Amino acid sequence: MNVYELQKELQRDEKFFKNYMDTFVDKFSKTLSSYDVRLATLPVLNTLVSRLYLLMFSFNRDPRKELREITFTLAGYKLEFKKVLTNTCLAMVKDYIDYVVQYSKPLPRIKVLLDLLEMYISATEDAYTAYIRKIEKQLSEKEEVRAKEESELAFGIVKKICETGEGRVIVHTKFKGLFIDTNSQIVDVGDKEILIKTTHLRVYKAGKKVHLKCSAAPRAITAVVEEVNFPESKIKVRVIGFEDLPEEQRKYVRVVPEEDIPVELKGFGREIVGVVADLCVRGVGVYTNIPHNFYVGSKILVRFTLPKGTIETEGIVKYVSPHGRIYRTGIYFEPDLKSEEIISDYVMERQFEILREIKGFEL
């Protein structure tokens, strides 16, 4: 049945719907006060709800378009309109059932009212969806403007450094879990890209994000590598903006293993095997190819083996996030002294391996 057919059927109980408006307004106000008592005392509220009721239950037109418009407007005031309307309509259904039973009305009319209310509530859901899309679009546009302004400011700082003849920056990047800072020199500034003479070119590749650190910039300048010129020891990068470097707040060095190191995770009656993504003396990142029920903050048993011994300790899940087609779980732990020594030795040796790979010769 369409809206008009449902309304026509319910018009047979016109007396109920005509007399119920005051009750509806009262229930709506009381329900609203449970969310925000200040809104429930607004003088305009009763007028609004009365108009809403007549719109829905006068049964003289399809009110869904106007319902969407009202809902869309109220969404901007952070009013829990959909929840309040749904709860009030459920209370109305209960009263209508009592009415149908008391006056021996046909029971199928209860379903008719439910079907009609479902259409009305669906209209409010559409309005909320439209409102969310509008906000997302506005935020996206603001973010684009902010990103453009930030990019122009960052590029301006780099250009100023070059113009003053200074040109010195530190290129900061990550290679196999190890953070590398390289003293470098800006040699040319184009329309959008800058050319930097640097070393350790093995750690760079096109598309990789790097950071430029200099005293003239309030934060690290974010850039993306466009080209790597090995013969001339230069990289061409495109400036994006600014970024804080959380790794500079880290107390412990983190490295990426060269080989696959299996990790056993046990908790909540499950055992999952993954591989080490990266490792430090106070935590491990783990890749798994299946999702698990280890939620953030939960305690689990972690077990893996390094060249100098096996680590088995209790850890706390810090995050769980998709990583392409697999999952990455970050785990914090506080190992005993023996385990800490085993991990520390591994991390130190792995650092030297990575540095040898960067420099291309034995240290």
Tens-place pLDDT, residues 326-355: 899 999 999 998 999 999 999 989 888 887
Q: Do domains 164-249 and 262-359 have the same CATH topology?
A: no
Q: What number of residues does the chain have?
A: 363
Q: Is pLDDT of 102 > 70?
A: yes
Q: Is pLDDT of 193 > 80?
A: yes
Other Cβ atoms less than 10 A from the Cβ of 33: the count is 14
Rounded distance between C-alpha atoms, residue 127 and residue 16, angstroms = 29
Tens-place pLDDT, residues 8-32: 999 999 999 999 999 999 999 888 8
Other Cβ atoms less than 10 A from the Cβ of 92: the count is 22
Q: Provide the pLDDT for residue 1.
A: 84
Q: Provide the pLDDT for residue 80.
A: 80
From 282, 253, 286, select the one nearest 174 (Cα to Cα): 253
At residue 141, what is the residue type? E
For the chain, the straight-line distance linking the first and the last C-alpha, in angstroms and rounded, comes to 81
Domain range annotation of the chain: 3-135, 164-249, 262-359
Average pLDDT, integer, range 314-323: 90
Contact between residue 277 and residue 286 where contact means Cβ atoms under 8 Å apart: yes
Rounded distance between C-alpha atoms, residue 314 and residue 332, angstroms = 9
CATH number 2.40.10.220 given to 262-359: yes
Report the topology of domain 164-249: Pnp Oxidase; Chain A (2.30.110)
The backbone region for 167, taken as left when phi is positive above 0, alpha when psi lies in -120 to 50, beta otherwise, is: left
SS3 337: helix
Tens-place pLDDT, residues 111-139: 999 999 999 999 999 999 999 999 999 99
Rounded distance between C-alpha atoms, residue 286 and residue 100, angstroms = 61
Tens-place pLDDT, residues 259-310: 999 999 998 888 899 999 999 999 999 999 877 778 889 999 999 999 999 9
Q: Is pLDDT of 247 > 90?
A: no
- How confident is residue 362, by pLDDT bands cut at 50, 70 and 90? very low
Average pLDDT, integer, range 41-46: 68
The token pair at 259 is 């080989």
Q: Which phi and psi angles does 14 have, rounded to 5°?
A: -55, -35
Rounded distance between C-alpha atoms, residue 142 and residue 147, angstroms = 8
Rounded distance between C-alpha atoms, residue 222 and residue 213, angstroms = 9
Q: Is pLDDT of 42 > 70?
A: no
Q: Is pLDDT of 68 > 60?
A: yes
Q: Provide the pLDDT for residue 361.
A: 44
Report the topology of domain 3-135: Globin-like (1.10.490)
Average pLDDT, integer, range 178-184: 86
Average pLDDT, integer, range 163-184: 84
Other Cβ atoms less than 10 A from the Cβ of 290: the count is 9
Q: Is pLDDT of 39 > 70?
A: no
Query: Mean pLDDT over all residues of the chain?
Result: 88
Rounded distance between C-alpha atoms, residue 129 and residue 262, angstroms = 44
Q: Provide the pLDDT for residue 23.
A: 95
